[in-house]
Amino acid sequence: MLNAFALSFLKASITCGIAAAIILALLTLATRVWPVLAGHRSVWLWSQAAIACAFVLALLPHSAAYSVVPAIDIALPAPAATQSSVLPQPHDGEADGADDGIDPLELLAQAWLALYAAGLLASGARWVHAQRGLRALLQHARPLDAEALAQHAGFGAEAVAELLQRGLRVAETDAAISPMLAGLARPRLLLPRHLRSFSDEQQRLIVAHELTHWKRRDPFWLHASMLLQTLFWFNPPLAVLTRRLNWAQELGCDHAVLAGRPAQQRKQYAAALVAQLKVQQDSFGASIAFGHGSPASLRARVALIREQGLRAPGMPGKAAVAAALASVLGASLFLQPAIAWRTPEPIATAAAPAIVASKPQWSMPLERVRVTSFYGAARKNVEGGHHGIDFAARSGTPILAAAGGTVLASTAQYQGGPQYGDVVLIEHAGGMRSLYAHLSVRSVEAGQVVRAGETIGLAGATGKVSGPHLHLEAFSNGQHIDPQRMLPGLDAYATSQALRKRPARL
C-alpha cells in the first residue's frame, strides 16, 4: 500500500511542478500584454488554486484512467525458473498479494516521499519560527485605545469608530518595521512609532492602505497562499506566484486608496513609500516599505502611482487568463504519464521447463503476473485452505477477463457479505466460472458479455484484506477447482513464500 501511495505521490509532485511552471510562464506573458493583471489579486489566487487542484487530481487513485497518453512500458527481469533465484521472501505478516520485490521506480518514489516529509518539517519549522518572532514583536508593542487612536494623525473620527465597532485592535512598536496586519482570526494593526514623524497626510494615507488590506481580507488569502507554499515547498514557481500575489495585494490597495485623489496626494503617498524604505534600510538593511518588495519593485510601484493606474484588460483579458488556467488544469489530468510494468516470459531451463507453448485454456488476468499465494495454502478459519490464487497488484491495476463469457454478478455483497469486497463473477463455456475479488472499481455489469483480455475492473483492497491484490477463484459445475488447472506455468511467476506454502500436489 505504501508503494502505491509513494508512486502516486511522486507522479502528483511532478505534475504539480510542471503545472506551476506552465502557469507562471503563461501569466508572465499575459501580464506583458495586459500589465494591469499584475494588480488583480484573483489572478494569482486562482493560479495557485489550479496548481493545488492539479496535485490533488494526479493523486486520486484512478486519475490515470483519464489520461490520453500511452502508458510507458517498463520491462522487468524475467522471473527465474528455480526457487533459489526467485524474488526474496517477504517478511512475516506482509499483506496478502503484496509484491515481495521492488523496482527502481518504487525506490525512487519512496526516497522522494521521505525527502518530502523532511522538507515539509523544515518548511513548517521556518513558518513556526517566523510566527514566534511576530508574537514576540506584538508582546512588546503598546496597545492604542480609543483615546490614543483619536489623537493619532493617521486616524479620523470615522475610522476610529469603525475600528471599535468591528473589533480591530491597534498597537504601536518602537521597532523600525513596516506597518502591517498581524494575525488571522483576529487581525491586529501594528504601526511603527516612527510613522508619527511623517506628515499628517502621509500618515492618513498609510493607515488607509492597511485598513484597505483589512477590509479586503488580504491577510487571510496571504496565509492561505503561504500554507500552499509550505505544503509544496519543492515547487519554486509556486513561491514566485506567492510573491506576485503579495505584489497584487499592494497594488490593489494603492488603487483603492488613491482612487479619485489629486496628484498632490499621490506624490505624498509615493514619498511615504520612499521614506519608509529609508528608515528600514538605516535600521537593519531591510529593503521593504509598507507592503513588500525590493527597491526595484518600489520604483515600479511609484511609477504606477504617478501614472494613476493602467487601462483595464476588460473581459477579453480576464477570459484569456481563465481559459489558460482551465487548459493547464485539464492538461494535468489528461496528459499525466501512466506507467505499466511488463514481465517477459521466463527462459526455459533444465530445472524449469518452458511454459506450455500451446494456448492456455484461460489467459492471464493481469499484464504483470506475480503469484503470492496458491490454491489450497493453509489459511486461518478457512476449511480446506485457500480457495483461490492471489496475484500481486497495485491499487488501480487493470483486471482482465481470463476468458470470454457472461457476467453473472458485479457486486460488493458477494455471498451476502463484504468479505470478498467488490467482486466480478463471469460464467464461461463448459460450466466454468471465474471470480475476481477485492476490486477497487467494477467496470462491468451483470448480464454483460465480455471477451477474453477485456478490462472488467481495477485491483484494490476492498473486503477483508490487509493490502491490495487480486484474488482469483475458479469453478467447474459449481465446485471450486484449482485455477492453476486453467492457467498453466504459474510456478515460474511465483514468489518463494507462495511456493513454500503451497500444499504438495499429487
Q: What is the pLDDT of residues 232-276, one digit of tens each?
A: 999 999 999 988 888 888 888 888 888 878 888 888 888 887 777
Q: Are 81 and 492 in contact (CB under 8 A)?
A: yes
What pLDDT digit, counting tens, does each position of 12-54 carry? 898 888 888 888 888 888 888 777 777 788 888 888 888 888 8
The DSSP symbol for 490 reads G
Predicted pLDDT at 304: 64
- Give dist(CA 302, CA 315) in Å, integer: 27
Predicted pLDDT at 299: 65
- Judge whether residue 1 has pLDDT over 50: no
Q: Residue 230 domain-assigned? A: yes
- Give dist(CA 240, CA 44) in Å, integer: 10
Predicted pLDDT at 428: 94
Is the same domain home to 310 and 401?
no
- Judge whether residue 224 has pLDDT over 60: yes
C-alpha dihedral over 488, 493, 495, 501, to 10 degrees?
0
- The count of domains in the chain is 2
Domain boundary among 291, 326, 344: 344
75-84, 155-164, 283-292: which has the minimum mean pLDDT?
A: 75-84
The DSSP symbol for 17 reads H
Q: Could you tell me which residues come within 8 angstroms of residue 504 by beta carbon, excluding any fewer than 6 positions away? A: none
Is the same domain home to 269 and 313?
yes
- Averaged pLDDT, 368-374: 90
Is the same domain home to 334 and 391?
no
Is the same domain home to 223 and 138?
yes
Is the same domain home to 288 and 338?
yes
Q: Could you tell me which residues come within 8 angstroms of residue 29 by beta carbon, excluding any fewer than 6 positions away? A: none
Q: Residue 85 domain-assigned? A: no
Predicted pLDDT at 436: 96
Q: Residue 350 domain-assigned? A: no
Is the same domain home to 378 and 297?
no
- Judge whether residue 161 has pLDDT over 70: yes
Is the same domain home to 156 and 230?
yes
Q: Sign (positive/negative) of CA torsion 299, 305, 308, 313?
A: positive
- Judge whether residue 358 has pLDDT over 50: no
Highest mean pLDDT among 86-90, 194-198, 414-418: 194-198
Q: Residue 30 domain-assigned? A: yes
- Judge whether residue 353 has pLDDT over 80: no
Predicted pLDDT at 89: 35
pTM, to two decimals:
0.58
- Judge whether residue 215 has pLDDT over 70: yes
3-state DSSP helix/strand/coil percent for the chain, to nearest 5?
50, 15, 35
Q: Whole-number mean pLDDT of the chain?
A: 77
56-70, 227-241, 357-371, 378-392: which has the minimum mean pLDDT?
A: 56-70
Who wins on pLDDT, 386 or 328? Answer: 386
- Averaged pLDDT, 156-183: 81
Q: Residue 463 domain-assigned? A: yes
Confidence of residue 434 (pLDDT cuts 50, 70, 90): very high
Share of the chain above pLDDT 90, in %: 21
Is the same domain home to 119 and 252?
yes
Predicted pLDDT at 34: 77
Predicted pLDDT at 39: 78
Q: Residue 349 domain-assigned? A: no
How buried is 55 (Cβ within 10 angstroms: 0-12 exposed, 13-18 middle, 19+ buried)? Answer: buried
Is the same domain home to 224 and 132?
yes
Q: Residue 9 domain-assigned? A: yes
Q: Residue 361 domain-assigned? A: no
Domain boundary among 293, 326, 344: 344
The domain of 252 spans 1-67+115-344
What pLDDT digit, counting tens, does each position of 298-333 carry? 666 666 666 655 455 556 656 666 666 666 656 555
Residue with cell 484449482: 482
- Judge whether residue 116 has pLDDT over 70: yes
- Averaged pLDDT, 395-422: 90
- Give dist(CA 369, CA 355) in Å, integer: 14
Predicted pLDDT at 472: 95
Is the same domain home to 394 and 313?
no
Residue with cell 489579486: 41
CATH code, 467: 2.70.70.10
Predicted pLDDT at 447: 93
Q: Could you tell me which residues come within 8 angstroms of residue 447 by beta carbon, excluding any fewer than 6 positions away? A: 406, 407
Predicted pLDDT at 470: 94
- Judge whether residue 339 has pLDDT over 50: no
- Judge whether residue 126 has pLDDT over 80: yes
DSSP symbols for 364-383: -SSSS--EEE-TT---TT-T
Is the same domain home to 29 and 159?
yes
Is the same domain home to 162 and 283?
yes
- Give dist(CA 102, CA 3) in Å, integer: 9
